[in-house]
A and B are shown apart, each in its own frame.
Chain A
Amino acid sequence: MVQFSTDRLDSSFAALSDATRRGVLEQLGSGDASITELAEKFHMTLTGMKKHVGVLEQAGLVTTQKVGRVRTCRLGLRGLGEEAAWIEGRRQIWNARFDALDDVVEALIRKEKADGRQSE
């Protein structure tokens, strides 16, 4: 379960002391985003956004993963309250499945069009 050490609280508060970083957290609350997308959204350089995300990551508020050349950011589970983290964990599982399901549905539609049938 979520444990708060003094260090952790310090780094969380430090991370949250900046308006852009609070904005980034809010943004990630409505969906994952790449560093590039976040930089555009907050009118910052890529380097500046990388620094902010690094601070959030250090505090456990954000996790990032690199796929190909894109680094995607999402809310870290540890910075949230227990109940919110529980829900967010499940949301990420279903969201991942459903992103893939989106792709399957799109492929089916493309296939129908290619087959010359009317897709509804």
Chain B
Amino acid sequence: MGDRASNGRTAVERRSERELVVTRTFNGAVRLVFDAWTKPELFKLWWAPKSSGVPLLSCEMDVRTGGSYRIAFGHDASKSMAFFGKYLEVSPPSRLVWTNDEGEDGAVTTVTFEDVDGRTRLVLQELYPSKEALDQAFVGMEDAMPEQFEQLDELLVTLGASV
């Protein structure tokens, strides 16, 4: 609990009928935070909430403008749920834009990374095609919320040279 470098301050705002904006500052240089979003071996350490009990099966990312990504969740390949899309813009280390193509009404996600005195201010914007699409997004995921990431902490401590 508690002693997070970022004070655990995640701000979420519905900025318009079709738009959700999430903001947080991280206690690390922009290039490091950008790496954590664009290197699959790092991305998969944090993207899937640990205590949701649904592990990340695979994570393929061809991080360049026009490249595609595919992330699969589930306990085994026969019962997995995939999220996929393509990168509309990759501008290291300051901006990422991708599509979410797994559903009918997928959002376009834009993430910007801004240096603030050596820390990183991250703004994630999801733009949905309609108000209804945003209303329905994430429904049912509220139960999948982890409390803490102690297991992840332990994993990271032992990560060592594999990062």
Residues A107 and B8 in contact, CB atoms below 8 Å apart: no
Residues A91 and B32 in contact, CB atoms below 8 Å apart: no
Residues B5 and A92 in contact, CB atoms below 8 Å apart: no
Residues A67 and B147 in contact, CB atoms below 8 Å apart: yes
A-chain residues with CB within 8 Å of residue B141 when the two chains form the complex: 89, 93
Residues B46 and A93 in contact, CB atoms below 8 Å apart: no
Any chain A CB within 8 A of the CB of B152? yes
Residues A107 and B163 in contact, CB atoms below 8 Å apart: yes
A-chain residues with CB within 8 Å of residue B8 when the two chains form the complex: 31-32, 95, 99
How many angstroms between the C-alpha atoms of A34 and B148 in the bound complex?
Answer: 11
Give min CB distance, B43 to chain A, whole Å: 9
Q: Which of A77, A87, A99 has the most CB of B within 10 A?
A: A99
Residues B145 and A34 in contact, CB atoms below 8 Å apart: no
| Tally of B interface residues using CB under 8 Å | 53
B-chain residues with CB within 8 Å of residue A89 when the two chains form the complex: 138, 141-142
B148 CB contact (under 8 Å) in A67, A93, A105: A67
A-chain residues with CB within 8 Å of residue B32 when the two chains form the complex: 105, 108-109, 112
Give min CB distance, A11 to chain B, whole Å: 21
Residues B156 and A70 in contact, CB atoms below 8 Å apart: no
B-chain residues with CB within 8 Å of residue A101 when the two chains form the complex: 26, 33, 36, 46
A-chain residues with CB within 8 Å of residue B14 when the two chains form the complex: 86-87
Size bracket, chain A contacts:
35 or more
Known: A93-B141, A103-B153. A32 touches B1 (CB 8 A): yes
Residues B163 and A102 in contact, CB atoms below 8 Å apart: no
Known: A32-B1, A108-B35, A109-B28. A68 touches B146 (CB 8 A): no
B-chain residues with CB within 8 Å of residue A111 when the two chains form the complex: 159-161, 163
How many angstroms between the C-alpha atoms of A95 and B33 in the bound complex?
Answer: 15
Any chain A CB within 8 A of the CB of B116? no
How many angstroms between the C-alpha atoms of A24 and B160 in the bound complex?
Answer: 39
Any chain A CB within 8 A of the CB of B104? no
Any chain B CB within 8 A of the CB of A42? no
Known: A32-B8, A91-B10, A102-B6. A97 touches B49 (CB 8 A): yes
- The digit string for B36-49, where 1 denotes a CB below 8 A from any CB of A, is 10000010011101
Residues A72 and B42 in contact, CB atoms below 8 Å apart: no
Within 8 A of A (CB), among B1-21: 1-2, 4-14, 20
Residues of B within 8 A of A (CB): 1-2, 4-14, 20, 22, 24, 26-29, 31-33, 35-36, 42, 45-47, 49-51, 118, 124, 135, 138, 141-142, 144-150, 152-153, 156-157, 159-161, 163
